[in-house]
């Protein structure tokens, strides 16, 4: 029942910024329901909803205080049910975020756990004694800066938090915690969702002995964040995580549901493959391998694909999400043609593809002034951070409407970038040259082609900066050519090749094609 995942295109909704239905300046579930038709019109197979659960919003929903309730900011359980129903009516599967490596410090589980060392949930979080001098148990550093341990006076112990101090790490090696998390999964599966996106899945379990991470000895200068000084051998990617994943997979199989894991690791592709290698692992996983690239080269793609040769698992790929600089800015210098080229490349790769809201419009990364920042990471590392708020600004729906049709409020929780207004959905509808039209065309081509959806990836020899590969399935062959440089290049073409998609300039001639700078061509062989 999860065959739909192979070659699927999954659209990420960041609910806070997708559509506000009640005029408070913050997106909500009813607003998302209003705009599901737009996602269906793209040809997507599924939606992934970022967290909408009850939360104090220290990390904007990734600090959950109740896994089985909807935060009033976003609506109600009834709204969640209505969204699932409407998505299914439109042929869209529904994947929801699950943040199981940590909870909010306001979760009832943590309130009980921190109360004493001998209560029923005393071992539900990662607690450790101080060293004899009172310092933290080891040298682990938090992703958002500073020590990964915070002292709790009630227990007179430190608790672990890989992110904010308000996000204590659950002790997922504890079978009782696993049981509770599986109960959470059942709650949502019984409501009809089709799968889960597991936040930082390889952070679920840490080294039982809490050994120090070794330093990176090859650094040429100090990195911007303390955790980047270390090799993360002991605070993530432990073998016990896979045992819990096996339990989760068994539950998912009972429902015909799926799970995609988010991997954050210094060897991302290796861990992606490990976490999807077999019927007791995740159905698919993605990492920050492509999300953090600042320039696209043929080697990046061919090396990534080579690591999946012969794999039993299924990869996923994305170029943008709520945590990184949007890909039109990061990989295409905000150039419309290069943006189309990058999207076509993503949708030509073997694996599931994730689109982030606004990718279909070619939105550049938004400029958010310091005084309007909300993201704790952006504030902590300003001005050198990645600026996650710039990826989270309101989705522009109507060019001439207040806040581009996102909200009826005078302003939104984050400011609208003026550049986004001209790229609103209604401004691009009906324009055959628009990014929106191109996205629909490319997704339709992928859906029509078994080779693009699930075929083999065959890398072809080509001089830099040309990326050339074939996708093959059931006798169908699709040749994919991408000129990733600014100068025209001549490439041979087999006789009888039939053009399926042109990106930019492609001039066919006897025996070949001249690809303009930052242009591409997909042809059936």
Which residues carry out catalysis? Answer: 199, 264
- Residue 215: strand pairing partners: 230
Query: DSSP letter at 237?
Result: -
Q: HSE of 469 in the Cβ direction (CA atoms, 13 Å)?
A: 23
Q: Which residues lie closer than 8 Å to 76 by C-beta, 6 or more apart?
A: 29, 70
432 in Cβ contact with 34 (< 8 Å)? no
Distance between CA atoms of 297 and 295, rounded to whole angstroms?
Answer: 7
The radius of gyration of the chain's CA atoms, rounded to the nearest angstrom, is 23
Burial class (CB in 10 A: 0-12, 13-18, 19+), 205: buried
The CA-atom distances, in angstroms, between 417 and each of 22, 336, 367 are 22, 17, 6
The CA-atom distances, in angstroms, between 460 and each of 265, 269, 492, 496, 522 are 29, 21, 12, 19, 14
Burial class (CB in 10 A: 0-12, 13-18, 19+), 23: exposed
- Angle, to 10 degrees, between the axis of helix 175-190 and the axis of helix 240-255? 30
The DSSP secondary structure of 10-24, one letter per residue, reads EEEE-GGGT--SSSS
| Cis omega (within 30 of 0) for bond into 465 | yes
286 in Cβ contact with 263 (< 8 Å)? yes
Strands (E), 343-428: 352-356
Among 56, 22, 107, 29, residue whose Cα is nearest residue 376: 56
Distance between CA atoms of 166 and 169, rounded to whole angstroms?
Answer: 10
Beta-strand pair 476-483/520-524: antiparallel
Burial class (CB in 10 A: 0-12, 13-18, 19+), 243: middle
Question: Measured over all CA atoms, what is the biggest interatomic distance in the chain, rounded to whole angstroms?
Answer: 80
- Residue 468: strand pairing partners: 481
Distance between CA atoms of 404 and 347, rounded to whole angstroms?
Answer: 28
Number of H helices, E strands in the chain: 15, 21
The dihedral built from the CA positions of residue 294, 298, 301 and 306, taken in this order, carries a sign that is negative
Burial class (CB in 10 A: 0-12, 13-18, 19+), 461: exposed
Residue entry with tokens 């075929």: 455
């Amino acid at each position: 029942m999860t065959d739909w995942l192979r070659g699927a295109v999954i659209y990420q909704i960041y609910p806070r910024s997708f559509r506000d239905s009640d005029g408070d300046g913050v997106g909500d579930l009813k607003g998302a329901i209003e705009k599901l038709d737009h996602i269906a019109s793209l040809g997507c197979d599924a939606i992934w909803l970022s967290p909408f659960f009850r939360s104090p919003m220290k990390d904007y929903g990734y600090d959950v205080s109740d896994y089985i309730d909807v935060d009033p900011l976003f609506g109600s359980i009834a709204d969640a049910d209505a969204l699932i129903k409407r998505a299914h009516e439109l042929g869209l599967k529904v994947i929801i975020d699950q943040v199981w490596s940590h909870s909010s410090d306001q979760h009832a589980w943590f309130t009980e756990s921190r109360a004493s060392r001998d209560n029923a949930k005393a071992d539900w979080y990662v607690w450790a004694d101080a060293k004899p001098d009172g310092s933290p148990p080891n040298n682990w550093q938090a992703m958002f800066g500073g020590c990964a341990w915070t002292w709790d006076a009630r227990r007179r112990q430190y608790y672990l938090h890989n992110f904010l101090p308000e996000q204590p790490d659950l002790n997922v090696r504890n079978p009782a915690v696993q049981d509770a998390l599986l109960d959470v999964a059942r709650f949502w599966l019984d409501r009809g969702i089709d799968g889960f996106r597991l936040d930082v899945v390889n952070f679920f379990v840490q080294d039982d002995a809490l050994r120090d991470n070794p330093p990176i000895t090859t650094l040429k200068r100090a990195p911007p964040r303390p955790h980047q000084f270390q090799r993360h051998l002991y605070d993530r990617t432990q073998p016990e995580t896979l045992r819990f994943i096996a339990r989760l997979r068994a539950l998912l199989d009972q429902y015909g549901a799926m799970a995609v894991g988010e991997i954050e690791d210094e060897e991302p592709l290796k861990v992606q493959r490990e976490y999807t290698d077999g019927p007791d692992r995740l159905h698919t996983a993605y990492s920050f391998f492509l999300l953090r690239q600042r320039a696209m080269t043929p080697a990046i793609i061919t090396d990534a694909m080579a690591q999946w040769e012969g794999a039993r698992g299924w990869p996923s790929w994305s170029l943008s999400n709520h945590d990184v600089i949007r890909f039109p800015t990061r990989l295409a210098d905000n150039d419309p043609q290069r943006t189309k080229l990058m999207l076509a490349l993503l949708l030509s790769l073997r694996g599931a593809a994730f689109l982030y809201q606004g990718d279909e419009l070619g939105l550049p990364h938004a400029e958010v002034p310091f005084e309007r920042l909300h993201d704790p990471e952006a504030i902590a590392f300003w001005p050198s951070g990645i600026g996650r708020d710039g990826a989270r600004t309101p989705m522009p729906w109507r060019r001439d409407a207040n806040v581009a049709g996102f909200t009826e409020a005078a302003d939104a929780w984050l400011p609208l970038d003026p550049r986004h207004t001209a790229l609103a959905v209604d401004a691009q509808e009906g324009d055959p040259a628009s990014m929106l039209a191109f996205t629909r065309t490319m997704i339709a081509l992928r859906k029509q082609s078994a080779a693009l959806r699930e075929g083999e990836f065959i890398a072809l020899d080509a001089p830099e900066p040309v990326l050339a590969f074939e996708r093959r399935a059931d006798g169908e062959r699709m040749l994919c050519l991408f000129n990733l440089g600014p100068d025209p290049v001549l490439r041979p073409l087999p006789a009888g090749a039939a053009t399926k998609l042109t990106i930019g300039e492609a001039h066919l001639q006897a025996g070949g094609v001249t690809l303009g700078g930052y242009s591409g061509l997909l042809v059936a062989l």
